[in-house]
Structure 1
Amino acid sequence: MTLTGEERGGAGRDGPWWWERRREAALDVGLGAVSAVECGFEGVVFARDVGMPSVLGVLFGVFVGGALVARRRWPVAVVLLGIAITPAAMGFVLGVVGLYTLAASEAPKRVTAVLGSMSLVGTFVVTYLRTRGDIEGERFLVIVLSVFMAVALTVPPVLFGLYIGARRRLMESLQERADSLERELSLLADRAEERAEWARTEERTRIAREMHDVVAHRVSLMVVHAAALEAVAVKDPAKAVRNAALVGDMGRQALTELREMLGVLRASSSAPAPAPAVVALVGTVGTVEDGPSLAELEALVGQSRAAGMAVEFEVHGEPPREGGAVGYAAEVEQTAYRVVQEALTNCHKHAPGARVVVRLAHRAGEVAMQVENGPCDGEAAEPGLPSGGNGLVGMRERVLGLGGVFVSGPVDGGGFRVSAVLPDTR
């Protein structure tokens, strides 16, 4: 028994009963009517041969021929019925169409071979017996004619049905593959959109981190110098002038770094496709080759000293040398610089007047940095710098993003310590 329309899926199904489409139902009803008419006429001859009323022969033929309507639902039964009425010399349309339907269906091929062979043998025997008396003395001709009739009524419909069935299964397989590829493409598109959204989120995080590092440190120093400028403007004009110059230098440096980052944003936003822009921006903002390096830490510490902070800077070991280059990968040096910069900014905000020690250690395959401040001097003026609480989070994200280790927290006796270890990623 073949699969019904419901069993094969109801996509696009609009036919009654076991038919998937109305045109299939119309075709089968039409074939059934043709077969019923043929068997009805042949039933008259059959009734005369067996000595029964012609009406019964006609009714029998119409009933048998009309069974062709169920060929899609029960192809095996239709073929068996056609083989059964072969001795009555009726049902040629029933037999031919039934064999074609069976061969084209999903029935096992051995069933098709067995029933096809039975139909071939039955047609040969019936044809031979009926023509033997009409052509006397020509036994060879009778055999040839019987073989021709048996082959003509059996082999072509079986072969054509096998071809149509194979073609149909191939088309269904191709359609399934096309649907599968469409689903995979849709899934890939969804994943690409998720990756793009992740890249955009990462981009915003990196930009926010860079902006925080640049603005927070420079502006913190500017506020400290401005407070000192206000305090000494009348008492020590020369020192006020120096502080004013430092504030101007800090502002210019902050503006320069901001312009560089905004230039990256403009260049990325003008790219013809969004994906390359996102990739370029993430790569450029996160790990620029011309960003700050460990060689600039001395100047960074000097800026804090100029702001009145007591800072000690200790360096242990020597930076690695590889291929004539001294130092670490650009992203490692920039991250190390930003960690020290943000830690010093926090000291300006939360520990004014405290003694600060900055340590940098070059080790085998890694670089370590530590910024530790002592207890805050109660007599020091509070600079009143706002804090968004993102400094430690940003440092941790930077360090962990490169596979490093980050630790921060209070120390015994008061004070705070920030430590980080970064592997050499070259």
Structure 2
Amino acid sequence: MTTTGEEHATALTGPWWWTRWRSALFDGSLALASAAECAAEGVPFARDAGIPLTAGLVFGLLAGSVLLIRRRWPIAVVLVAIAVTPAQMGFLMGIVGLYTLATCELPRRVIGALAGMSLFGTMIVTFVRVRQDMARGDFTLGDWFVPFAAVTTSLGLTAPPLLLGLYVGARRRLMESLRERADSLERELQLLAERAEERAEWARSEERTRIAREMHDVVAHRVSLMVVHAAALQAVARKDPEKAVKNAALVGDMGRQALTELREMLGVLRSGGEEQGRERRERVAAASVPLVAVGVAAAAAAAASRAADEPGGAEGPSLAELAELVGQSAAAGMVVDLTVQGEAREYGAEIEQTAYRVVQEALTNVHKHAGGAKTYVRLAHRSAEIAMQVENEPPPEQASAPPVRLPSGGNGLLGMRERVHALGGVFVSGPTDTGGFRVSAVIPATA
């Protein structure tokens, strides 16, 4: 028989082939009722056949008890019911057997053949019995009653259980199909949920990488210049007070710029209007610069105070600020040569910001690894792209005053490469033949 998903879920909880004890008790009750019916009908059959009544009774009990296996072998139950039809017994067994057969997932031609055999067997037996009864004078109706009784009786005992069984079987198969479809949809939803979680984790990872890259770009350049100026301030504080004051002012300006850019970047992470988040960002921003500008604590504190009162600035740096960026490096003692080729024009905000960050990070690397080296910054505006190159000569030999040591995380070149590749550009970096270092990038103008 067709079993539902619930029956599958409760499989092996009943005896033998039954899935549940309730089904076993129900079939046992039907078998007892069928055995009692066949035993009662076996008595007149034994009397008419001239055999002992005990034999007829035992035959009826055995034939009726076959109904117990209706779920396991429904075809056998129907065949036994057809076989005992001439003895006018097994009506309950025939009805239940046809119903069970119709609910099974058997070929329709098999069900139709067995149902037809039962129909014609019942029709013939009924025709003969009614004709004999009319011949004995039990009925005084016309001859038309014999075929009418045979047809109606056979149809009444065959059609209802067959049609009901077909309906129940179709409904069970439909419910099982719907349940399987629901299980499939649930598995698909689980798979989609897992994929969504993977995508969310990937997005979080990408966002963490982006934030780390932004933090590196914002802090590294400003703080590197601040450290250089702080070292210069320490060297000339006693010899040249005016230059010391100038360097302190430069440190303050760079601190304010670093804090402003930090606030702009961290503002992306802010939930609208949360005071706690604002205070936390201001504390992080205010604590960033003093950690690296220990030698100029007073100037950094003043810069932090002024930066906290300033509103959020622009969306990000652009190529228009490139000259100022180069000027800051020049003010820190670096010899920088800026060359711009082609007609300047406006690009997308992300393109200009990426180009600015590439030049900024390249200059930062010069401060870190080649202090005092002459540097060439070239920017070329082309028809379909914008190209930039930062190349420095070998650093000069410094016998006196050890160079300022700046920490390096090794992520600067990686961050530049990721930025340029994200816009479909090309990034190349490496040492030159003369002992210097070159950083080159080309970004499509319509990226």
TM-score > 0.5, shorter chain as reference: yes
> C-alpha offsets along residues 226-251 of structure 1, whole Å, 9 cap, x if unaligned?
11222222333222222111111000
328, 332, 343: which one aligns with 1:307: 332
The yes-or-no answer on 1:316 pairing with 2:338 is: no
Partner of 1:236 in structure 2?
240
User: Shift of the alpha carbon at 1:3?
Assistant: 6.3
Is contact 1:4–1:73 with CA below 8 Å preserved after alignment? no
Q: Which shows bigger deviation, 400-409 or 55-64?
A: 400-409
The AA in structure 1 aligned to 2:349 is A
Deviation at residue 289 of structure 1 after TM alignment = 7.8
Cα drift, residue 386 of structure 1: 0.9
Match of 1:273 in 2: none
Kept in 1: contact 2:2–2:173 (CA 8 A): no
| Partner SS, residue 312 of structure 1 | strand
* 1:211–1:258 Cα contact (<8 Å) kept: yes
- Give me the whole-angstrom Cα distance separating, in 2, the residues matched to 1:359 and 1:267: 40
2:395 matches 1:376: yes
Task: Work out the CA distance in 2 between the residues paired with 1:8 and 1:240.
Answer: 86
2:440 alignment partner, SS class: strand
- Which position in structure 2 is the counterpart of 1:401? 422
1:293 matched residue in structure 2:
318
RMSD between aligned residues: 2.0
2:432 equivalent in structure 1: 411
1:12 aligns with 2:16: no
Q: What are the Cα deviations for residues 182-205 of structure 1, in whole angstroms up to 9, with x where unaligned? A: 111111111111111111111111
Is contact 1:352-1:381 (8 Å) kept? no
Counterparts of 2:42 and 2:184, CA distance in 1: 53
Instruction: Say which is worse superposed, 256-265 or 67-76, in terms of deviation.
Output: 256-265
Q: 2:406 aligns with which of 361, 364, 385?
A: 385
Question: Aligned residue for 2:86?
Answer: 87
Q: Quick check: 378-387 or 330-339, which moved more?
A: 378-387
2:257 is the alignment partner of 1:253: yes
Deviations 1:204-232 (A, max 9, x none): 11111111111111000001111122222
Q: Which moved more, 1:386-395 or 1:164-173?
A: 386-395
Query: What is the CA deviation profile of residues 346-375 of structure 1, one whole-angstrom value per residue up to 9, with x for unaligned ones?
Result: 000000111111111222322221111111
Q: 1:60 aligns to what? A: 59
Say whether 1:358 aligns with 2:377: yes
Aligned to 1:267, what secondary structure does the other structure show? coil
Deviation per residue, 1:268-323 (Å, 9 max, x gap): 796xxxxxxxxxxxxxxxxx98111111111111110111101111112224xxxx
Q: Which residue in the other structure is 1:130 paired with?
A: 129
Which residue matches 1:188? 192
- C-alpha displacement at 1:135, in angstroms? 2.1
Structure 1 residue 266: deviation in Å? 2.0
Q: For residue 274 of structure 1, what is the aligned residue in structure 2? A: none
Letter in 2 for 1:185: L
> Are the structure 2 counterparts of residues 9 and 345 from structure 1 closer, same or farther at C-alpha, using a change threshold of 3 Å?
farther
Contact in 2 for aligned 1:4/1:18 (Cα 8 Å)? no
| Equivalent residues in 2 for 1:92-111, closer than 5 Å | 92-111=91-110
Contact 1:4 1:19 in 2 (8 A): no
Question: 1:141 & 1:258 partners in 2: Cα distance?
Answer: 104
- Matched to 1:181, the amino acid is L
Aligned partner letter, 1:385: L
User: Counterpart of 1:206?
Assistant: 210
Distance 1:4 1:244, change over 3 A: closer
Q: Which amino acid aligns with 1:177?
A: R
Q: 2:218·2:262 contact (CA, 8 Å) conserved in 1?
A: yes
Q: What stretches of structure 1 move > 6 A for 4+ residues in a row?
A: none
- 1:425/1:73 CA distance change after superposition, 3 Å: farther
* Partner residue in 2 for 1:281: none
8 Å CA contact retained: 2:391, 2:438:
yes
Which whole-Å CA distance do the structure 2 matches of 1:401 and 1:228 have between them? 38
With the length of structure 1 as denominator, give the TM-score of the two structures: 0.90
Deviation string 1:382-408 (CA, Å, 9 cap, x unpaired) is 121111111111111212222222111
**Counterpart contact for 1:16–1:22, Cα < 8 Å:** yes
CA distance in 2, matches of 1:364, 1:373: 27
Aligned length, in residue pairs: 401
Q: By how many angstroms is 1:4 displaced? A: 7.8
Identity of aligned residues (%): 66
Write the distance in 2 (CA, Å) between the matches of 1:310 and 1:56: 123
For residues 116-158 of structure 1, the C-alpha deviation after alignment (integer angstroms, 9 at most, x for no partner) is 1111111111000001021246221111111110010000000
Deviation at 1:8, TM superposition (A): 10
Q: Residues 402 and 423 of structure 1 are in contact (CA less than 8 Å); yes or no, is this contact kept in structure 2?
A: yes
Stretches of structure 1 lacking an aligned partner (at least 5 in a row): 271-287, 320-325
Unaligned runs of 5+ residues in structure 2 are 136-140, 275-312
In 1: Cα distance, 2:340 partner to 2:143 partner? 116
Residues 9 and 307 of structure 1: CA distance in aligned 2, closer, same or farther (over 3 Å) = farther
Aligned partner of 2:366 in structure 1 is 347
Q: What amino acid does structure 2 have at the position aligned with 1:296? A: E
Judge conservation of contact 2:429–2:439 (CA < 8 Å) in 1: yes
Larger mean Cα displacement after TM superposition, 354-363 or 230-239: 230-239
Q: Give the letter aligned to residue 16 of structure 1.
A: P
* Counterpart AA for 1:215: V
- CA–CA distance in structure 2, aligned partners of residues 338 and 80 of structure 1: 89
Q: Shift of residue 333 of structure 1?
A: 1.3
Which whole-Å CA distance do the structure 1 matches of 2:86 and 2:392 have between them? 111
1:143 maps to 147
* CA contact 2:2–2:169 (8 Å) conserved in 1: no
- Paired letter, 1:362: H
Q: Secondary structure at the match of 2:10?
A: coil
Deviation at 1:424, TM superposition (A): 2.9
Within 2, Cα distance between the matches of 1:376 and 1:268?
48
Q: What is the letter of the counterpart of residue 297 of structure 1?
A: L
Which piece of structure 1 moves more, 52-61 or 236-245? Answer: 236-245
Q: Which residue identity does 1:404 align to in structure 2?
A: G
Give CA deviations for 1:157-180 in whole Å, capped at 9, x if unaligned: 000001100111111111111111
Are 1:35 and 1:93, in contact at CA under 8 Å, matched by a contact in 2?
A: yes
